[in-house]
Structure 1
Amino acid sequence: MRNLYIFFISILCVICRAQGQDKPIFHIPQLGKSIYEGVFTGNGLLGTMTYLKSSQAVRIDIGRTDIYDHREKNREKLFNKARLSLGHFSINLDVNIDSIGGDIFIQQAYSQTNIKTSDGMLHIKTTTLSDDNIILIEVIKKDYHGNYSFDWCPDSAISPRMKFDYIQKPTYYTRNPEGKSGTSKGFSFYNQELLAGGGYATVYKKMLAMDNDVYVVSVGYNQVNKSYLKETIDYVDHFDSKDIIIALEKHQNWWRNYYSASSLSLPDKIYQRFYDMQLYKLASATRTNKPAIDLQGPWTSVTPWPAYWMNLNMQLTYSPVFTSNHLDIANSLIQMIDQNVSNLRENVPVAYRYNSIAIGRSSASDLWSPVLLEKGVSISDASDGEKELGNLLWLLHSYYSYYRYGMKEEVYDRLFPLLKEAVNYYLHLLEKNESGKYHIAVKTYSPEYKYGYAYDTNYDLAILRWGLRSLIELDHEKNRKDPLYDRWLDVLENLIDFPQGINGYLIAKDVPYGESHRHYSHLMMIYPFYEINWDQKENRVLIERSIKYWQSKNQFLQGYSFTGAASMYAMMGRGDDALASLDNLLKSYIKKNTLYAESGPVIETPLAAMTSIQELCLQYWNGKLRIFPAVPTAWKDISFKRFLTDGAFLVSAKRKNGITQTVEIESQHTGTIRVESGISTPMIVIKGKGKYEIDLDGIIVFTLNKGSRAVVYEKK
């Protein structure tokens, strides 16, 4: 017992030494009874969410991001291949809870819940270790004189969609067997076997210190055999005192290194806290070698969306990682795509599988989700999600950014064939109309719009134009002269124009924007692709009219409707309008702990808002880097360090009293970049090998060798 006591004193010293340096960054005065009102942790695989359960109980949800059912492939994939929730620990008190608040210590990556009762204060700390599949739960009771119990409450291993009455259920759905509780080697466990093979287990053990109870928790998972239970028990059993102390040190070092990649300093405390929380959330939800982020991350709740969603959600979720210099986070998405190319090919009709890939609306991590569009074939019984043509090509926009922001040859070599095959599916479906223009000769579905099944949707035309331009650009970059190059050029030059009407862009040919529409699928030529942009003065009235009319029908607008609008306003240089849109989002849609919900947790919208905030400070489009292009009037002092941009350039800049003071650009890959610095009379110093020139528009054109740095400041 003495050794055990010394062991936990050592652990607590490590925790206190690391955590004592930090004040609570995100404080929730009163925790509620949902995951949207709790405090959370995560390591990209495991996660915790702590919140109020009842008047005498607190719950700590445990999640593991890769636990999906994995039954046969069929059209009921949201049931047969659904994300499964694990359950929660219930901390039950003998007395009523008078008040309960929570803190997330973002820098040190742990949460603390503070419970006030008539028997004193009870504190609960959770730490999800960065480099190990271990959760530490500390019940700190030195100021608490009552009793408590610590119980595991498992969730049923069924698709969460079974719990929604309005959702049509499969005719046949066999439930997984009931899980079983047990003990082994002094550990408690809950073992859940799956019909499709394998299963998962939650393993935990209580260890005592004088004023603290510490619980060590892990979750094992295997889709093939039942070895996961023994392996998880052995894993935790061999995780001795020395390992935990080392793991806590590594945990702090990992997060310290993560935050050092980039930073943003804002004068608005609300937006600063919000931005920092999203940065914390990203690394809690995934890592370079962890599963990609689905709609929930590690924090599960009853949801009709137990999967990955490909017609906006995935794209928005990963949108802020590039500018924030976190290609490590993006890699979780990239590796998921790379590992499932065979399913992406199986997703297209048989006739096109020899050279095409696609994905429908939703899938498990295997990316199996068919698209049924085929020339001359009736698909009257297909779901809307099986008619969405452009999802994969839009998803590859993230892959393209992953390449362009890192400029790695091996990424190029993987990206190019994927992009080519995604465009090939489009090419199979094109025909020339009576005017000799290419158009999409089958009806496709424009996401989220009731009447969106139509010819020539702007959703698909915008995505196709981006795909063609990107292939042509990538071909030029390596002087490939691909056999399909002339075909891409021909289609791009002769593709029909984006359908538009008196109120701006339509949903599709002959389909006006007639009712409220939360998705900006019909405006993607404006954002995120900038095919139609503010540099094109002839298009400014059309851009303004389209955005205004979209936002004027506000009945069904949701959170990401306002992030999309904010990004469009930022492209126009209208920082105040962008901020007003984000204000609406934060006040009306974002939850206490910055999560977001639409009938269940959907993680993408707050992360898309993080992107919009970045775009107030830095934008790259139309071949030009723009420094502080849309700073709101109220934000006088603002700076960022080591933001990443196209061409693998790191950018830092500082603005004081509304005037840009300095801009620094560091090249991680030899190349050229055009910069609109916002400095009226620039002085330029290049450190290392490089050169610059200033064109007639005042744009500074830098050519920098790898490792060189350029500094721009105001001439005094």
Structure 2
Amino acid sequence: MTPFEPNGADLTGTAPSGLPELDDHLVAGSARRDFLGGLDPVWQAVPSSFYDGPFLGNGGLAASVRRPEGGTQLRIVLGDSRVRDHQEAGGPLWGGTRLPVGHLTLGTTGEVTGVDLRLSLHDAELTGTVTTTHGAVALTAFVHAGRDLLVVRCRPLDGGERVTWSFTPAPAVAPREVFYPEQRPAGLRDNPPAVLTPTADGGSCVQDLACGGRTETRWRTADGGGGSTLFCTVAHSATDATASRTAAGTLAEAGRTTAGRLTEEHRSWWHAYYAKSFLSVPDARLQGFYWIQLYKLACATRADRPVMATHGPWLEPTPWPAAWWNLNVQLEYWPLNAAGHPELDSLRTALENGGPGLLASTPEAYRADSLVLGRSSQDDLHSEPAGAPGQAEPLPETGNLTWALHTAWLAYRHTMDEAYLRDTVLPLLRRSVAYYLHFLTRDDEGVLHLPATYSPEYGTTADCNYDLALLHWGCRTLLDATARLGVQDPLAATWQHVLDRLTPPPQDPDEGLWIGRDLRLTSSHRHYSHLLWFHPLHQLDLTRPANRALLRRSVEHWLGLTGELQGYSFTGAASMYALLGDGGAALRQLDELLDSYVRPNTMYAETGPVVETPLSGAQSLHDMLLQSWGGVLRVFPAVPDDWADATVHDLVAEGAFRVSACRRGGVTRWIRVRSGAGEPCLVAPGRLGGPADVRALAGRPGPTAWSPRPDGLLEIALPAGAECLITAAGSTPDLTIAPVTTADTFRWGLPAAPGLT
């Protein structure tokens, strides 16, 4: 056969002899189950809190398991992302706050003394035994993937144990009242007490709300198979009592469905979910952590559910009972993109439906052409009043909507869904940037400046880097988006003028980027708001040595001021080191996260549950294995030197590319790139071990041309639906998709207490 030369020759037929399709070992038999089973968290000691116990969920209904300190019985604490108040007083943190539901108690004859539990990631089911002073109970529990239904099967393992169920409602009180009672707003009405109604086989709990809404928890048990099965549901209605009808209907439908059918439906969803992408690294603890985050994401959100609150759907005691927009929401959604899970994108749903709330959040004088979002809101996007640049009150934290729209832009770039760009991202971004345009000023040299705005969690300053970076990104993206869509926008010249004349980021040669023109970074700061120019916005070109030096200097100065750093400080730092190609430093940041901040079940707390931090750790691992900013697919860009092996399969990159790659013995053996949208394809192949070759795979449409560039990138003409294989020239590698071997073993969860077997 004639070799495929990098001169534009055609290669649309079959691949060279001996070059088959990828061999995905994970689709055969029980391979995926076995792989994930090796990462299942286990509990051989009784969990006592949310932060060390098993958790379940379907994006709406959620549950967590523990025996509280001093307790004798096991509890299943219920939560639901849709359950909240709907009063106006006090805004999203008071009148609109998320509300707790209550807990089920597994009543056993004896006191709980031990557990042996396993959370199957593959099946999203908790199984095992609960040991008591009178015997033991076998238990299986799951929150159904597609129905608002908790299913718990219990079977006594000897004659001395019996099981009953009871429900204890949580008071429908704003969670912040426990932390800040002095802040309770005037006009906030108390919700009435819940009403419990037991029945012969279960019961119901009606929590009416002062606003006219209702939350109803309903449960029943059914005997059979030598044990009993609990079915429990939670339903919520905002301004009427229809929750009761919904809850009754859910349980009635469950009663008409066999247990086998319910289990099959549930498992089928989860098995399809995990099949969408894959990665494996030779670090057992980090690999397990990553896959638990993928599990956690699907427990915490779905596209048809509310935007994620800071605590996820598990509402434990917290002062943060809302969605936070100055970092938290953004970090929560980043991992969806590379992992290929747009079906979880409730941020998109919130933005598509949140226009009225955004308008209400915007100062009235600017509503004609602008939108802005305050720090926190519920899923309606009606935040507390947002501030204006140059004004002290309300606090002028003005970049939050623009940053959220960057996350939406990433979702677009990974799917290339032009309807989302045209109908949602572009119009919202246009109005978000327009808000900034009202306040820009010009100095004597024609340079544009921003009046004082607030850099999240640090201070107020003119030419705040948080806002300068977001404005720069916003103008550049508006020009890109309108060009892509063929839109002639009258503001295009203004956006270009801002790009041309906006003041450079305030900085100095020793400390790197400042907070803003009038404010240096002189004390410990957990937030990396001043570093958005680099991560995640990529507005400073890292192919320039001066910018690379600036990033490293800025990160090291930021991390060197200790005392206030928190878990997400280290995930942000990991991603920034990954941008520099420093995989060893990136891994050290993730190790610090896991060593010092993440709890035994991979949850995380800052006063209350804060779900974005561990989720962003998953994205940091993505950034070490695949980056795609700036139109370049960078494969294994920041793999630590001691990770000789790594595998990724069908990770999604910007441009709707799906990338699979295998690293063995410290060398990239092969890369498969599949184009989903026919976008320009530039690949940085990493360490191939020799000059590159680009070929088609057997039976697949392939590239029509390719050529190496002087900068080391491979430029490949890859039509939509086509694939190519990149290898070292002359090699015929093993195209197997399989986990890599880890030198160590690690299980998240709780090991047996010392001295116990």
TM-score by length of 2: 0.88
Q: CA deviation at 1:321?
A: 0.6
2:412 to 366, 391, 403: 403
CA distance in 2 between counterparts of 1:664 and 1:35 reads 41
Query: Which amino acid counterpart does residue 373 of structure 2 have in structure 1?
Result: I
Does structure 2 retain, via aligned residues, the 8 Å contact 1:161–1:167? no
Query: Which amino acid counterpart does residue 351 of structure 2 have in structure 1?
Result: I
1:43 to 46, 58, 61: 58
> 2:521 is paired with a residue of what secondary structure?
coil
The match for 2:7 is: none
Does structure 2 retain, via aligned residues, the 8 Å contact 1:37–1:592? yes
- The within-5 A match list for 1:73-88 is 74-88=89-103
Q: CA deviation at 1:598?
A: 0.3
Structure 1 residues 180 and 370: CA distance shift in structure 2, 3 A: closer
Does structure 2 retain, via aligned residues, the 8 Å contact 1:187–1:205? yes
> 1:273 is paired with a residue of what secondary structure?
helix
- The within-5 A match list for 1:84-483 is 84-112=99-127, 114-143=129-158, 145-165=160-180, 168-183=183-198, 187-242=202-257, 244-330=259-345, 332-374=346-388, 378-380=391-393, 382=394, 384=395, 387-414=396-423, 415-441=425-451, 443-449=452-458, 452-483=459-490
Task: List runs of 5+ in structure 2 lacking aligned partners.
Answer: 1-31, 731-757
CA distance in 2 between counterparts of 1:646 and 1:371 reads 34
> 1:36 is paired with a residue of what secondary structure?
coil
CA distance in 2 between counterparts of 1:707 and 1:21 reads 29
Query: Which amino acid counterpart does residue 582 of structure 1 have in structure 2?
Result: L
Mean alpha-carbon deviation: is it higher for 403-412 or for 364-373?
A: 364-373
Task: List runs of 5+ in structure 1 lacking aligned partners.
Answer: 1-17
Structure 1 residues 470 and 144: CA distance shift in structure 2, 3 A: farther
CA distance in 1 between counterparts of 2:439 and 2:105 reads 55
CA distance in 1 between counterparts of 2:613 and 2:158 reads 40
Structure 1 residues 373 and 144: CA distance shift in structure 2, 3 A: same
Q: How many residues align?
A: 689
Q: CA deviation at 1:379?
A: 4.4
Does structure 2 retain, via aligned residues, the 8 Å contact 1:669–1:705? yes
Mean alpha-carbon deviation: is it higher for 542-551 or for 485-494?
A: 542-551
Q: CA deviation at 1:527?
A: 0.7
Q: CA deviation at 1:182?
A: 1.3
The match for 1:557 is: 565
Structure 1 residues 82 and 706: CA distance shift in structure 2, 3 A: same
CA distance in 2 between counterparts of 1:177 and 1:40 reads 29
Instruction: Say if 2:40 is the partner of 1:30.
Output: no
CA distance in 2 between counterparts of 1:19 and 1:297 reads 26
Does structure 2 retain, via aligned residues, the 8 Å contact 1:186–1:205? yes
TM-score by length of 1: 0.93
For residues 23-47 of structure 1, the C-alpha deviation after alignment (integer angstroms, 9 at most, x for no partner) is: 4711133233210111011111111
Q: CA deviation at 1:296?
A: 1.9
1:68 to 84, 87, 100: 84
CA distance in 1 between counterparts of 2:33 and 2:545 reads 53
Query: Per chain length, whose mean CA-contact separation is higher, i.e. which structure has more relative contact order (CA < 8 Å, sep 6+)?
Result: 2
CA distance in 2 between counterparts of 1:227 and 1:546 reads 54
> 2:605 is paired with a residue of what secondary structure?
coil
Mean alpha-carbon deviation: is it higher for 518-527 or for 143-152?
A: 143-152
Does structure 2 retain, via aligned residues, the 8 Å contact 1:345–1:357? yes
Instruction: Say if 2:578 is the partner of 1:570.
Output: yes
Mean alpha-carbon deviation: is it higher for 454-463 or for 227-236?
A: 227-236
Does structure 1 retain, via aligned residues, the 8 Å contact 2:332–2:615? yes
Q: CA deviation at 1:293?
A: 1.7
Q: CA deviation at 1:397?
A: 0.9
Query: Which amino acid counterpart does residue 79 of structure 2 have in structure 1?
Result: G
> 2:602 is paired with a residue of what secondary structure?
coil
Q: CA deviation at 1:142?
A: 2.2
Instruction: Say if 2:513 is the partner of 1:512.
Output: no
Query: Which amino acid counterpart does residue 570 of structure 2 have in structure 1?
Result: F
Does structure 2 retain, via aligned residues, the 8 Å contact 1:142–1:212? no
The match for 1:694 is: 708
Does structure 2 retain, via aligned residues, the 8 Å contact 1:371–1:388? no
Q: CA deviation at 1:160?
A: 0.6
For residues 551-605 of structure 1, the C-alpha deviation after alignment (integer angstroms, 9 at most, x for no partner) is: 0111000000000000000000000000011000001000111011100011000
Does structure 2 retain, via aligned residues, the 8 Å contact 1:46–1:64? yes
> 2:428 is paired with a residue of what secondary structure?
helix
Structure 1 residues 313 and 158: CA distance shift in structure 2, 3 A: same
Q: CA deviation at 1:115?
A: 2.2
Q: CA deviation at 1:372?
A: 4.0
Structure 1 residues 234 and 183: CA distance shift in structure 2, 3 A: farther
> 1:394 is paired with a residue of what secondary structure?
helix
